[in-house]
Amino acid sequence: MKLRLPQLAIIPLCLSLLACTASAADETPDSVRATFKSKFPQHDITSVQSAPVAGLYEIVVKMKRGAREEYTIVYADAKVEHLLTGDLIDTKTRQSLTEGRLEELNQVKFDFNALPLDKAIKEVRGKGDRKLAVFSDPDCPFCKRLEQDALSKLDNVTIYTFLYPLAQLHPDAPRKAAQIWCSKDRAATWTAVMRNGAKLPAGNANCSTPLAELAALGEKLGVAGTPALFLPNGRMISGAVPVETIEAAFKAK
């Protein structure tokens, strides 16, 4: 998920402007920062540096995502007369340089073992050596897709599912989450509902649940949507990603 700056008046930067930068020789990252700040004082600038494209500057702006700080990137010419948002693509590698920088800037720093793993639905596959925490909503179609298309294919993994019903999107999700937590076999019930399309078994949801605690935890970690995956190496992945993406994240340092 890429963050935007909806408050800013964005003017597309045409290619001809990229060549009109020779007169900006006296501009520096500090002067660009000052000019940007004078035009957009409401934004908290973290850093300004030359972008990989001549004449452009990368401006990193601090944003709020729940209780967690996140960063987004906007590009500007030396006099901040034009702004550019979106992905800067390296045509040789066909990779998004912007996405790589955002991953670096927004890497979540947390202690995986400090998570309240006893408040999660635990599923062990094979030896279970690899660890994965997932914030998931029982009524979220993307969560079901993740379960069916990706998580079901993982091996040698222990999956900790934190129930994270988004009542504003799915009004009945908190009730279903509580019913799953209060079932006799949480893991089996969760798997049946999310991967096999089974209906929730009859039963009450009068037991004590960790839903309030998990809501606070998700906000602290910046979970604004489901599914959200967390790995011990500090990686956070959002959305119903394919299994290859998860495997690659496990291997990343």
Q: Is pLDDT above 50 for 8? A: no
Q: Give the 3-state secondary structure of residue 140.
A: coil
- In the prediction, which pLDDT does 205 show? 75
Identify the burial level of 178 via C-beta atoms within 10 angstroms of its C-beta, where 0-12 means exposed, 13-18 middle and 19 or more buried: buried
Per the document, the length of the chain is 253
Calpha distance 85→72 (Å, rounded):
9
The secondary structure element, H or E, covering residue 95 is strand 95-96
Q: What average pLDDT does the structure give for the chain?
A: 86
Q: Which stretch of 8-22, 137-151, 204-218 has the lowest confidence by average pLDDT?
A: 8-22
More confident position, 26 or 158: 158
The count of other CB atoms within 10 Å of the CB of residue 132 is: 22
For the segment 207-237, what is each residue's pLDDT rounded down to a tens digit?
Answer: 999 999 999 999 888 888 999 999 998 888 8
pLDDT tens digits along 161-215? 999 999 999 999 999 999 999 999 999 999 999 999 998 877 677 899 999 999 9
pLDDT band (50, 70, 90) for residue 7:
very low
Q: What is the pLDDT of residues 115-138, one digit of tens each?
A: 999 999 999 999 999 999 999 999
Phi, psi of 214 (to 5 degrees): -70, -30
CB atoms within 10 A of CB 197: 9
pLDDT band at 250 (very low <50, low <70, confident <90, very high): very high
- Ordered structural domains, the chain, with CATH: 15-105 (no CATH), 112-251 (3.40.30.10)
What's the sign of the alpha-carbon dihedral 119, 124, 129, 131? negative
